Homo-oligomer: A and B are copies of this chain.
Amino acid sequence: MITRMSSLFLRTLREDPADAEVPSHKLLVRAGYVRRVAPGGYSWLPLGLRVLRNIEAVVREEMDAIGGQEIQFPALLPREPYEATGRWSEYGDALFRLKDRKGADYLLGPTHEELFALTVKGEYSSYKDYPVILYQVQTKYRDEARPRAGILRGREFVMKDSYSFDLDDEGLARSYQLHRDAYIRIFDRLGLEYVIVKATSGAMGGSASEEFLAVAETGEDTYVRSTGSGYAANVEAVVTPPPAEQPVEGRPEAQVHYTPGTPTIETLVDFLNKADLGRTFTAADTLKNVLVKTRQPGQKDWELLAVGVPGDREVDLKRLEASLEPAEVALLEESDFAANPFLVKGYIGPGALQANGVRYLVDPRIVRGTAWVTGADKADHHVVDLLCGRDFTPDGTIEAAEVREGDASPDGHGTLVAARGIEIGHIFQLGRKYTDAFEVDALGPDSKPVRITMGSYGIGVSRLVAVLAEQFHDELGLVWPRGIGPADVHVVVAGKDETVAEGGERIAAQLSERGVRVLLDDRKATPGVKFADAELIGVPTIVVVGRGLAKGVVEVKDRATGERSEIAVDDVVEHVVSLNSR
């Protein structure tokens, strides 16, 4: 296939678009791959669409290879199934909702768990039908609060979403592993640098879950990895290793102290260390109780929740929210304090919480036998040596404290450091949330119904175009991995001489016959303009047909390394074909 620049619908830009911050956004616009149509809405111009299609092809091949069967749902979906699972409201403002001419409610699908579950229920009935993996490559919609970075976070995007249906947990684990392996092959084939991190499952429900994050400084997702092992996780998914429990017998009694002028942890620690208590305190010895209120989906009333964390750590709201999902979380207002006078601001302790029936969840570090300085439920008073498991008994633990660089890795090897990435894939063991909602059962061998268990797996296909651009570019432009870019070779006709033009045409034709996808710059433009465009567009191999032709040579340039070599005209086709089949 030969694509001629003289007629290609492409105009490159010399300037970065005003709204672009990250390299992929700047370069994909400048090189004419995409154009902005609306906030978070982009059109794919010819070169961009080709890259998208190439990525889709890789994704399809690997999905087919694990037995995935492609189907396709509408994007415009009725409200009812999403109402049944609660997602109609849980999705909040991120869901595009609309009405049809009759006033019926519709949405633009963000993901399709409901529809896949219903479809499998509609077609399959026997245990012999299972397992099955279904997928689609489909346009998805999310009304992002802050669409950003071009096609990295759009409001309309292409996603591969697949769903596995199994008879039991072991089956689900197998389907999950199949997807995990397929995703590794997909991202490896694309040449991406990425990590697999433990993840929370968000509004999707379910248990085991991992994210594939492309390593990128510009990424929106923060994750942590261990310095001493392969451990990596989303900050929301980091599980705090609890310390050993300690005996409660024979430990000092809890004592209430008058601690005037200690509104902060810092002033409290200072005060205690100046008081003559025979030991030194740090912020880590204090127990900070943070009050929030939560509301379960579909409920009207809020419930108080106290979260206890060591005083040297802040409550990380994203971690707190992830732990409590799908419940909503809100901070208390003055009226809440007024309604609960036992909450003494700045001096809240476990005593009043438990006496008044407030749900009390604590950081996993607060185990039986640990002693704490905390509020005494009375202004200007704190209690020292309040012993967990003796003086108070929390209702459970919660991952809500901030994760810090230097924290011990949850797997016991090394410490954590932070890094940034872009989510490119997500795999979930959903379990039975959706099959319960729609009663998706198979008739088992014993004629009893078996509730099906589901997995849900996504790849941000259109986002991958930007992620590749993010990882593969230099100061001159894009640098596509072989096989993924819009062409395999960029033949530049450099010179006005007719024999040069003919030479370029001939080489392009010969390459095309060999199955090489050729971008031929046959425009009436200066070599300088053509070279700059070739660097910007980023096809892996550039063949310059110019003055050397008279001596029987052309120049072959590797876009990634910048390496140039003179190749005899008669050898150039073989040379490029061999580069391409590596």
C-beta contact mask, A30-62 vs B, less than 8 Å → 1, else 0? Answer: 001001011001111110010010000000000
In the bound complex, do residue A98 and residue B101 qualify as a contact, i.e. CB atoms below 8 Å apart? no
Stretch at the interface among A4-12, A249-257, A309-317: A4-12
Describe A's contact surface by its main secondary structure: mixed
Could you say which of B32, B77, B156 contacts A74, with CB atoms under 8 Å apart? B156
Binds B, one of A137-145, A221-229, A476-484, A491-499: A137-145
Residue of B nearest to A115 (CB): B37
Candidates B7, B49, B67, B156; contact of A7 at CB < 8 Å: B67
The distance in angstroms between the C-alpha atoms of A52 and B7, with both chains bound, is 30
Interface assignment of A119: CB less than 8 Å from any CB of chain B: yes
Which residues of chain A (56-109) have a CB below 8 Å from chain B? 67, 69-78, 93-94, 96-98, 100-101, 106, 108
> Is B38 in contact with A74, judged by CB distance below 8 angstroms?
yes
Q: Which residues of B contact A70 (CB under 8 A)?
A: 46, 49
How distant is the Cα of A94 from the Cα of B102 in the complex, in angstroms?
11
Q: Count identical subunits in the complex.
A: 2
Given known contacts A97-B98, A101-B145, is B75 in contact with A124 (CB within 8 Å)? no
| A11→B76 contact, CB < 8 A | no
> In this assembly, does A301 line the interface, its C-beta being within 8 Å of a C-beta of chain B?
no
In the complex, whether A382 has a CB less than 8 A from a CB of chain B is no
A147-167 to B contact mask, C-beta < 8 Å, 1/0 = 000000001100000000000
Contact-residue bracket for chain A: 35 or more
The verdict on A123 contacting chain B, using a C-beta distance below 8 Å, is: yes
Smallest Cβ-Cβ distance to A154: which chain B residue: B74
- The interface residues of chain B lying within 8 Å CB-to-CB of A155 are 76, 100
- Asked whether any CB of chain B lies closer than 8 Å to the CB of A132, the reply is yes
Q: Give the distance to chain B from A175, nearest Cβ to Cβ, in Å.
A: 14
Partner of A76, one of B119, B145, B156: B156
Contact A108 B9 (CB under 8 A): no
Assuming A77-B37, A115-B37, is B43 touching A72 (CB within 8 A)?
Answer: yes
- Bound CA–CA A115/B67 (angstroms): 39
Point out the residues of chain B lying under 8 angstroms from A108, CB to CB: 76, 98
Q: Which residues of B contact A132 (CB under 8 A)?
A: 7, 9
A128 shortest CB reach to chain B, Å:
9
- Does A134 touch B at the CB level, under 8 Å? yes
Q: Taking the complex as formed, is A122 at the interface, i.e. its CB lies under 8 A from any CB of chain B?
A: yes
Expressed in whole angstroms, the minimum distance between the Cβ of A486 and any Cβ of chain B is 12
Are A123 and B9 in contact (CB-based, < 8 A)? Answer: yes
Q: Is the CB of A38 within 8 A of B101?
A: no
B-chain residues with CB within 8 Å of residue A77 when the two chains form the complex: 37-38, 41
Question: Closest CB of chain B to A302's CB: distance in Å?
Answer: 23
Q: Are B9 and A74 in contact (CB under 8 A)?
A: no
**Residue of B at shortest CB range from A144?**
B101
Interface centre among A43, A106, A143, by most B CB within 10 Å? A43
* Shortest Cβ distance from A43 into B: residue: B73
- When distances are taken between beta carbons in the complex, the residues of chain B under 8 Å from A10 are 123
Q: Which residue on chain B has the smallest CB distance to residue A131?
A: B7
Q: What's the minimum C-beta distance from A55 to chain B, rounded to whole angstroms?
A: 14
Contact: A71 with B98, CB < 8 Å?
no
Q: Note all chain B residues with C-beta closer than 8 A to A98.
A: 96-98, 108
Q: Within the assembled complex, what's the spacing in Å between the Cα atoms of A78 and B43?
A: 13
**Contact in complex: A72, B96 (CB < 8 Å):** no
Beyond A69-B8, A96-B100, A122-B35, whether A115 also contacts B76 by CB under 8 A is: no
Q: B7 and A37: CB pair below 8 A?
A: no
Q: In whole angstroms, what is the CA distance A71 to B10 when docked? A: 11
Partner of A11 from B44, B123, B156 at Cβ < 8 Å = B123
Distance between A498 CB and nearest chain B CB, rounded to angstroms = 20
Question: Which residues of chain B are within 8 angstroms of A76 by Cβ–Cβ distance?
Answer: 38, 41, 96, 108, 141, 155-156
**Chain B residue, CB-CB nearest to A70:** B49
Across the interface, which residues of B come within 8 angstroms of A145, CB to CB?
101
Give A10's nearest chain B residue, CB to CB.
B123
Does A93 lie within 8 Å of B101, measured CB to CB? yes
- Given A69-B46, A98-B97, A75-B9 contact (CB < 8 Å): no
A489 to B326, CA, bound (A): 49
Closest chain B residue to A3 by CB distance? B69
User: Are A38 and B78 in touch, CB under 8 angstroms?
Assistant: yes
The reply to whether B122 and A69 contact each other, CB–CB distance below 8 Å, is: no
Chain B proximity of A165: nearest CB distance (Å): 10
A selection of 24 A-B contacts at a CB cut-off of 8 Å is A7-B132, A9-B123, A11-B123, A35-B122, A37-B73, A37-B77, A37-B78, A38-B74, A38-B106, A41-B78, A42-B74, A43-B73, A46-B69, A49-B71, A49-B72, A52-B72, A74-B156, A75-B156, A76-B96, A96-B100, A97-B98, A98-B98, A98-B108, A100-B155
The 10 A-B pairs of least Cβ separation, nearest first, read A98-B98, A93-B101, A41-B74, A44-B72, A38-B78, A11-B123, A74-B156, A43-B73, A9-B69, A101-B143
